[in-house]
Structure 1
């Protein structure tokens, strides 16, 4: 590690500008990654994270979290952030309502997308033990920065609470889902598993035991 380097600041700044210009024109993700690394080193943007723990399992688990956070931060720096908790997708629904479909197929497609955009927020609410459709309607009727905090069980300002997602992650997920859906429309057969509902264990059996015991003693 070099500290307090004595390099020519003018030359360093010139090289930084050259790298920035190269970033603007390159289309290779690999080149962008390497250029950004070089840019960080020249502009004092390098940090070393050391992860520790009491066991290998703990260290690996922490490293995975750090890696996820680092990737999310890079994505956020690249394309910005949007509201988390599925709120950003919900905010995409009103513009779809203003579209005028050219035919019945387009109308059906728009309705499918609108329904799909609700699913992430509904799933989060459902996993928190509340009615997803009610939560979604409440969010849709609230101001643009309000969403549902599943940890608190309350509606909050998502930006102030730090409940955000990188724009790139949300955009990529939506595009990938659209790609899979397009592929399925051209498939003749799709094989899937039917979800099984878990039944509440044998309270009825206890009732049966009580009846049998009562009959025997009578």
Structure 2
């Protein structure tokens, strides 16, 4: 899914950006260069990526993201199929060793106050 790659790239871009600024480069120019590079990378990724829609594909991507845990990948595929592409999936830490999926119809609000 690319999360590790994105983290490694972000760290490297940050480190090299700081190194260039410390060496005397204009910080604004460094920022603009990073933004151009990010735009180019995102555009390229959009060109070569493909949409994952079948439950088997979702399970495979989910398993990879979960350190090759196919059980978690299957749970993710099941949850995504149930809520749809616009649904919300929330992962919460439990108090037991059991891994479970719970579906909530409608809306769920966290406790607290909202002030206009």
Decide: shared fold, TM above 0.5. no
TM-score, normalised with respect to structure 2: 0.32
TM-score w.r.t. structure 1 length?
0.20
Select the structure that is richer in strand: 1
Greater percentage in helix: 1
Larger gyration radius, structure 1 or structure 2 = 1
Q: Looking at both structures, which has the greater relative contact order when contacts are Cα pairs under 8 Å and sequence separation is at least 6?
A: 1
